[in-house]
Amino acid sequence: MILFFTCSACILLQILFAVWMLWAGPSSAGTGRKEEQTDQPLSIIICARNEAAKLRENLEAVLQQDHPHFEVIVVNDRSEDDTATVLESFSAYPKLVSIHIPPTEVPTLPGKKFALSKGLAAARHEQLLLCDADCIPASTGWARLMTAPLQQKTEIVAGYGAYEKHKGWLNVFIRWETLHTFIQYSSFARSGMPYMAVGRNLACTKSVLLQAQAHPLWASMPSGDDDLLIRIAAKRRNTRIVQEPAAFTVSEPKMSFSAWLSQKQRHLSTGKLYRPHIKLLLGLYGLSHGLMWLLFALLCCAGNAYLVSTMMLLRCLLSWSMWAAAAQAMREKNLLFFLPLCDVGWALYNLVLSPYILFKTKKQWT
C-alpha cells in the first residue's frame, strides 16, 4: 500500500505540473505579443575561446542582422587557435569590434565572466544581446525580435537556443531536453518566478548586467553567467520570454555522450544557487517524475499496477500532449514520435546529473 500511495502521489504531482505547463508554457503562449520596433542602439557580445572554425561559419550571420543600429563585440579570450586571424578577415565590417585578451593577462573573474566583463566594458550601448561563437541566428530579424521587449521597460529577455538535427538517439534526447528545459523556465518566468536563461540567446540592459557583475555571487563559479544574472537581477515584472522561431539561435550539438555530459555538468552546476522555492518546485518535479516511473515499474512487476494505471494513462496523455504542443510551437515537430522514450530517459538523466545540480561546481567554462 505504501508503494501504491507514493506512486499515486507522484502521478498526481506530475499531472498538476503538466496542467500548469500547458497553461503557462510555450504551447499556450503562441508567438507572444508584437513589440513596437524602435531604433534603440544595440551591442551584441560574443565571448570566444578557441572558436576560430565556428566564428568563420557563424559570425557573418550576426553581422548581417537587419537591426537599424548595432555593433558586434567579439572577445578573443586567450585563444590558442586562429581566432585572431579569423576576426581580422572580418575587418571590412565596420560594425565589428574585436577585443583580444593576451595569454599573459591574469583574469580578475573566473571562467567566461572575465571575457564577458571585457565585452561589457567595451559596449557603447545600453541594450545588450549575448550569444556564443558556436551559435547562428535563425534569421536576420533575430536581434530585433530579441531586443524588442527591452523597449517596454523589460530588463531581461530569455530566448530559445535550439540545436541542429542529426541522426542518432543522443541528438534526439539533446533536442528534447533543450525543449523540456525551455518549457520549464518559460513556464516559471511567465508565472512570475524566473530562474534561468541560456547565455547563447539572452538580451538584457547594460545596467542590469553591471548590477549582476557587482554581486558577490557573480564570482562564485566560472560558469553560469546566464543563470546567475537571473538569480541576482530577474524579477516578476522585468523578465520576458521570446519564443518566435525567427528569434532562435541554432547551435551544433555535442556528438558524443561524454562531451554532452561534460557540457551538462557545467550548465547545471548553478542549480544549487537557485532561490529556495525554485529548488523546491524543481526538486518536486524531478523527484516525482523519477519515483513515478520507478514505483510504477515495481507495481507492474508485483502485478498490482492496475489500480494506478488509469492515473498513469491520464498523466502520460497530459504530459505528452503538453510536450507535443510545445514541440509544434518551437518547430521541433520531429521529436513527437520519441516523447515516450524521452520521458523515461529523463528519469535516468536526473539520476546521473543530480550531484552536479545539488553539490558540485564545474571548474572551467570551455
Query: Mean pLDDT score of the chain, rounded to an integer?
Result: 90
Region 203-219: mean pLDDT is 95
pLDDT of 33: 52
CA gap 216, 227 in Å, rounded: 14
pLDDT of 264: 77
Residue 123 scores a pLDDT above 90: yes
Find, among 22, 203, 212, 184, the residue nearest to 117 by Cα. Answer: 212
Q: How many residues does the chain have?
A: 366
pLDDT of 302: 85
Tell me the fold of 38-269: Spore Coat Polysaccharide Biosynthesis Protein SpsA; Chain A (3.90.550)
Residue 297 scores a pLDDT above 50: yes
pLDDT tier at 134, thresholds 50, 70, 90: very high
Report helix, strand or coil for 304. Answer: coil
Q: Which residue has the higher pLDDT, 153 or 236?
A: 236
In the sheet that holds 202-205, the strands lie side by side as 96-101, 70-77, 42-48, 127-132, 202-205, 156-158, 239-241
Tell me the per-residue pLDDT of 61-118, one tens digit each, with 9 for 90 and over. Answer: 999 999 999 999 999 999 999 999 999 999 999 999 999 999 899 999 988 999 999 9
pLDDT of 32: 46
Residue 361 scores a pLDDT above 70: no
pLDDT of 354: 63
Tell me the per-residue pLDDT of 318-340, one tens digit each, with 9 for 90 and over. Answer: 999 999 999 999 999 899 999 99
Domain ranges across the chain: 2-26+276-358, 38-269
Q: Which residue has the higher pLDDT, 230 or 28?
A: 230
Q: Which residue has the higher pLDDT, 224 or 29?
A: 224
Tell me the per-residue pLDDT of 22-66, one tens digit each, with 9 for 90 and over. Answer: 999 886 665 445 555 567 999 999 999 999 999 999 999 999 999
CB–CB of 142/65 below 8 Å? yes
34: which residues sit within 8 A by CB, 6+ positions away? none
CA gap 129, 202 in Å, rounded: 6
Least confident interval from 187-191, 268-272, 357-361: 357-361
SS3 content of the chain, % helix, strand, coil (to 5): 55, 15, 30
Region 295-303: mean pLDDT is 91
pLDDT of 263: 78
Region 193-216: mean pLDDT is 96
Report helix, strand or coil for 131. Answer: strand
Tell me the per-residue pLDDT of 253-293, one tens digit each, with 9 for 90 and over. Answer: 988 888 888 777 776 778 888 999 999 999 999 999 999 99
Q: pTM for the complete prediction?
A: 0.91
